[in-house]
Amino acid sequence: MAPPPLTNFIQTNLQHKQAATATLRRMLEVNNETVALIQEPWIRKGRICGLNNIGGKLLLDTTVINPRTCIYLPKQINAVLMNEFCSRDLTTVRLQSNCASSPEIIIASAYLPGDADIPTVELANLIRHCENKKLELIVSADANAHHRLWGSESSNRRGKTDSPLCRGCLSAEETVAHVILECEGVNTQRAQILKTTRSLREACGDTRRILRFWAELGWLDP
């Protein structure tokens, strides 16, 4: 059967925490039409804990120890684990439909290690397969992208972009004037460091303060 029209999809990294797993479990018990694409589940003795006996099904590569990905599906969704595209860091499921007008959908939960090239070989193979077969693909991933703007202690290359859009709001071109005077995504840093700056000239008149502002955003990192 096809996924119900109101099926919800969520992505979560549980960071191997029992408390986070308990919170997710309660949510899935209440919202029984939710598909959860999970990274870094709570592990004990090499196996995922806390997500069984909810009423749905937990799919993952059962041949590995300490899996870092899995997918939880409501029991009413007909799905098949695609073993050829599953590993410790990738779980791939085909959602099947009995309706000819509804395409099959591939969903994947991926964990991208911080010390690996991206996309990983296994994820690239999955994408290539779906492109060749013209299959719909949804990928939910923890890409280990770090940036001070969203609370990381430091920024890394994965947390940066070549897009001209502002990294703070993704809604306007990233110009100096926009970031200092307008971007709502950096309101907290602006209020703490630049205070009530009303013009670009006023802000740039205090070099130490403006450098501290950019450093706090993490945008001075090479």
Name the strands in the sheet holding 34-39, side by side, starting at the edge strand that comes first in the sequence. 8-13, 34-39, 69-73, 57-59
pLDDT at 100: 64
H helical segments located in 74-222: 121-133, 176-177, 187-189, 200-204, 207-217
Amino acid at 221: D
Residue ranges of E strands in the chain: 8-13, 34-39, 43-44, 47-48, 57-59, 69-73, 79-81, 90-95, 105-111, 136-142
pLDDT at 6: 57
By C-alpha distance, which of 12, 126, 131 is closest to 72? 12
Helix, strand, coil % (nearest 5) of the chain? 30, 25, 45
Q: Which two tokens stand for residue 215?
A: 């450093």
Q: CA dihedral in degrees (52, 111, 32, 95; nearest 10)?
A: -110
Q: What is the pTM of this model?
A: 0.71
Q: What is the spatial distance between Cα 193 and Cα 213, in angstroms, rounded to a whole number?
A: 6
pLDDT at 4: 46
First vs last Cα of the chain: how many Å apart? 50
Contact 20, 36 (CB under 8 A): no
Amino acid at 34: T
User: Which residue ranges make up each domain of the chain?
Assistant: 8-142, 161-217
The CATH number of the domain covering residues in 8-142: 3.60.10.10
Q: What is the mean pLDDT of each run of 10 residues along the chain (222 residues)?
A: 65 95 95 94 93 92 95 92 96 84 87 84 94 93 74 66 76 86 89 84 82 82 56
CA distances from 139 to 40, 66, 150, 209 (A): 16, 21, 21, 41
